[in-house]
Structures are given as structure tokens and as C-alpha cells.
Amino acid sequence: MSVGLVVVSHSAKVAEGVVELAAQMAGGVRIQAAGGTDDGGIGTDATMIAEAITAADEGDGVLVLVDLGSAVLSAQLAIDELVEEETRGRVRIAEAPVVEGAVVAAIQAGTGSSLDEVDQAARGAATMVKVKDG
């Protein structure tokens, strides 16, 4: 068992691409994409996010990575109103950039870490140094 991940983006392609990338880094972790609206447009859909959370949950918790704006609102709504009460307590939105956060979180989750540890790892991706002295 491991912590599951959900990647939320305004674009279905971005969400699927991030899932593809993160899954490549860590096998055996449930990573679900919830991007775009249900008619294929740009936007976010709380119902779709709630379903992804349920699908990603193995019982150890779910970390949700979001891009911005309504992605945050829709994810919050999905957690507060739409997922089962039992799941609700073990779902968290990451304070992290969506691509880097998902990759780091997937690797951490793959080691069997707790939700706290996976969340912390994703958070660290926000201050990841990419160009020395940059």
C-alpha cells in the first residue's frame, strides 16, 4: 500500500502528461489525472476530481497536486463535499508546483512513506534549485 496521488490541471493534457511522467519515476503508486472539464474544455471539475481521489485512495491517504485558480477551489470542494466521509480525513492539497511536486511525491510515495512525508517532500519541490547561482 502507498499514498495515492491526484494531478489536477485546467488542461486534461497537462494532467495526463504529469501523470505519465510521475508514473515513470515510481511504479506501483496510484496516480490519477483529473484535468479539464468533462466536455473536453479548459477548466476543472470537482466531480471528476472526487472520482480521481476515490480511485487513488488505497487507505493510506491521497495527495492532490493542483495548478492554480479554480483547480484549488474545485479540489477543495471535492474534498469537503463530494468524497466519502471516511476518505475525507486522509486527503490533502499539496503546497507545491504541479509537475515537480508530482514527480517528487511519486518517488516518496513509492518508498511506502506516510501522507505527511509525501506532502513534505512535495512541498520541498517548491524551493527546488534548478540553476546554481541563478
Partner 1 sequence: MDAACVRSWLGVVATRLEAERDFLTQLDAAIGDADHGINMHRGFTAVMARVGDIEEATPGQLLKAAGRTFVSTVGGAAGPLYGTAFLQAGEALGDAASFGPRLLLDALRASLEGVQRIGAASPGDKTMVDALSPALGAFELELRMGGSLETATSGAREAAAEGMRATIPLQARKGRASYLGPRSVGHQDPGATSTALMFAALEQAVLADRSHRFAAGARRRGSGA
Return the active site residues. 10
Instruction: Provide the minimum distance between the beta carbon of 79 and partner 1 in the complex, in angstroms, as a whole number.
Output: 10
- Residues counted in the chain: 134
Among 13, 24, 59, 81, binds partner 1 (CB under 8 A): 81
Q: How far is residue 17's CA from residue 11's CA, in Å, rounded to a whole number?
A: 10
| Sites for partner 1 among residues 42-61 (CB under 8 A) | 42-48
**DSSP string of 28-54?**
T--EEEEES-TTS-SS--HHHHHHHHH
Query: Which cell numbers hold the place of 117?
Result: 512525508
What minimum distance in Å lies between the beta carbon of 35 and partner 1? 11
In the chain the beta strands, taken as DSSP E runs, fall at 4-9, 31-35, 62-66, 91-93
Q: Which of the ranges 1-9, 13-21, 39-47, 125-133 carries the binding residues for partner 1, by CB under 8 A?
A: 39-47
Tell me which residues touch partner 1 (CB under 8 A). 10, 36-38, 41-48, 69-70, 73-74, 76-77, 80-82
